Amino acid sequence: MKKAKYWPGWVVIFSVLVGCVFDFGLSGSSIEEHSSRRRADIIKIDSLVAYGDLEKSPVEFLHDKHTDAMAKKNMDCTACHLKLNGQIYPKFKRIEDTGRIEAMNVYHEGCISCHGKMNIEKEKTGPIACDDCHRKKNQYTSSRQPMGLDKSLHFRHLEASENKCQRCHHEYNEAEKKLTYTEGHEGTCRYCHGKETKENRISMRLASHIACINCHLKTKPEKTIRPPVNCSGCHEAAFQKKIKKATMVPRIKRNQPDTVLLKAVSEDLLTDKSVSRMNFVPFNHKAHENSNETCRGCHHASLKSCKECHTLNGSTQGEGVSLEKAAHKPGSKRSCLGCHEQIKHTEKCVGCHLMMGRNRRMPDASCLTCHAVPISEIGLSSDPDHEKRIVESILQSKNRITETYSAEDIPERVTINRLSSQYEPVDFPHKKVVTALIENMKDDKLASYFHNREGTICQGCHHYSPRSSRPPNCGNCHVKLWDQDNPSKPGILGAYHQQCLGCHTAMKIEKPIGCTECHKEKISSN
């Protein structure tokens, strides 16, 4: 890039400041005023990168520090930002960029002239020399956290706007060439506004800052508290924790169903067995709403049905991801299987699922846990109530934790004596552990759905044995010593300690602490 030509206004400023040594600004006392180098208000000024490689390093700009300084002078956002149609725009002293030189001159004239004026008036101010702004090494580390509307915050905004969804939600009407509001078509802002500005759609960052900050500025303070208009108020973790949570959040009104029957094909193909090889899936839509903070947890691109984008063979609209992959991809947070895998490894569930492993081959019947509605039961029925009754009946039947086997089949205590050469046998409270597992998961809808068969809970410990009221002992699979032909299978000593201590550690159960809390050491007779 060619070097910038400085106009006379700069010459006046620099002539006043020749020979001055600044020990304030970003590199001096301003740093000492902050006990931490981590900030949420760091803005990297690199606008000129749109016109080619930068001649100097981007500027590390502390936004909240500057707004605080402006407030002390009774100045507001308009000191740095222009207004258009009553809206303050995020760009510094311009609405849009018109060229490299123009954008560069706006920053240099605005920043240097302000700092120079404050310096002449003997006020503490920021840097003026080029390298004091364009530093090669950053002085601060960003602590910025993403911000969005969870269900609680969305509900609070809905209440504040008196249920007028049109204050935030709009869509572009191609025929009228303008933004309009259509009731029942509300969706998340991110469905249209992406990471970058494209054509006539500004980026999500610009859209949210224009809409949210301008609305907050116009909102009358509630009990002397105004909605945040600075960076830290939204993007600092400590401030996010202070955001008031609504105690009761009603369901978002979007005409969504309580239950859905997930089908891979359209109605006219239901009789073609070659097209749909699996049963249909009864899906509790309402329960999943309660378990997610936003609809985007599942509906990441739009609120349409999954199969409209994710076809059987994959489509451009679905980025080539087939419907089968969209539902079953283990590593994706957006797939059914991937989401369930993540939940299985939370503190509440990981005790059992830790030893079962992520890649364990499940019995063939496990597919039918979800694919529970045979195609023959739906057929080509045109009665939607018939379909709804079947779905609700199946979901209701799975909404319970089976208390595994009958009481007489569950041993009260089990004696583990395979290590009794050095220690006394372990008196294992078997029924107490089983009861604790059932109690721990009884109010969990996901656990209720997947743990309602006899013997399922038992497989948390008896992880590779078939379901049975009399599963084989651990020693039947785990030999006394390490088996060199099966290096991934621990010996009996390792198996007991990995299973028991691994579960306690993963679930953060404090006891037992030492060896002798489970099995007392034998006292020598000599």
The pLDDT tens digits of the residues spanning 415-436 come to: 888 766 778 888 899 999 999 8
- What's the rounded Cα separation, in Å, for the pair 505 and 451? 23
What fold does the segment set 400-517 form as a domain? Cytochrome C3 (3.90.10)
The pair of structure tokens assigned to 503 is: 């579960």
Beta partners for residue 428, in sequence order: 414
Are the C-beta atoms of residues 242 and 145 closer than 8 Å to each other?
A: no
pLDDT mean across residues, the chain: 83
5-30: average pLDDT: 35
What are 57-74's pLDDT values in tens digits?
Answer: 999 999 999 999 999 999
* pLDDT at residue 115, rounded to an integer: 94
Q: Is the pLDDT of residue 222 over 60?
A: yes
> Which of 8-17, 80-89, 163-172, 216-225 is predicted with the least confidence, judged by mean pLDDT?
8-17
Are the C-beta atoms of residues 32 and 109 closer than 8 Å to each other?
A: no
> Which of 249-263, 268-282, 290-304 is predicted with the least confidence, judged by mean pLDDT?
268-282
Residue 40: burial class (beta carbons within 10 Å; 0-12, 13-18, 19+) = buried
Report the percent of the chain where pLDDT is more than 70: 87
- What's the rounded Cα separation, in Å, for the pair 72 and 32? 20
- What's the rounded Cα separation, in Å, for the pair 107 and 15? 19
Q: Is the pLDDT of residue 331 over 60?
A: yes
Residue 201 CB partners (closer than 8 Å, separation 6+): 172, 192, 193, 194
Name the band, by pLDDT with cuts 50, 70 and 90, for residue 36: low
What fold does the segment set 8-142 form as a domain? Cytochrome C3 (3.90.10)
For the domain spanning 151-241, the CATH number is 3.90.10.10
The pair of structure tokens assigned to 455 is: 């013997």
Between these two residues, 166 and 36, which has the higher pLDDT value?
A: 166
Q: Is the pLDDT of residue 79 over 90?
A: yes
Q: Where in the chain is the domain with CATH 3.90.10.10?
A: 8-142, 151-241, 259-395, 400-517
Which overall architecture, per CATH, does domain 259-395 show? Alpha-Beta Complex (3.90)
Given the structure tokens 């001055």, which residue do they identify?
A: 20
Hey, what amino acid is at 159? Answer: E
What are 120-136's pLDDT values in tens digits?
Answer: 999 999 998 999 999 99
- What's the rounded Cα separation, in Å, for the pair 123 and 107? 21
Q: Is the pLDDT of residue 91 over 50?
A: yes
* Helix (H) / strand (E) containing 300: none
The pair of structure tokens assigned to 116 is: 């120079």
The pair of structure tokens assigned to 21 is: 């040594």
Beta strand 38-39 pairing with 141-142: parallel
What are 105-114's pLDDT values in tens digits?
Answer: 999 999 999 9
CA 205 to chain centre: 18
Q: Is the pLDDT of residue 290 over 70?
A: yes
> Which of 34-48, 178-192, 358-372 is predicted with the least confidence, judged by mean pLDDT?
358-372
Are the C-beta atoms of residues 187 and 294 closer than 8 Å to each other?
A: no
> Which of 56-60, 80-84, 128-132, 449-453 is predicted with the least confidence, judged by mean pLDDT?
449-453
What are 465-491's pLDDT values in tens digits?
Answer: 888 888 888 888 888 777 778 877 888
Are the C-beta atoms of residues 203 and 90 closer than 8 Å to each other?
A: no
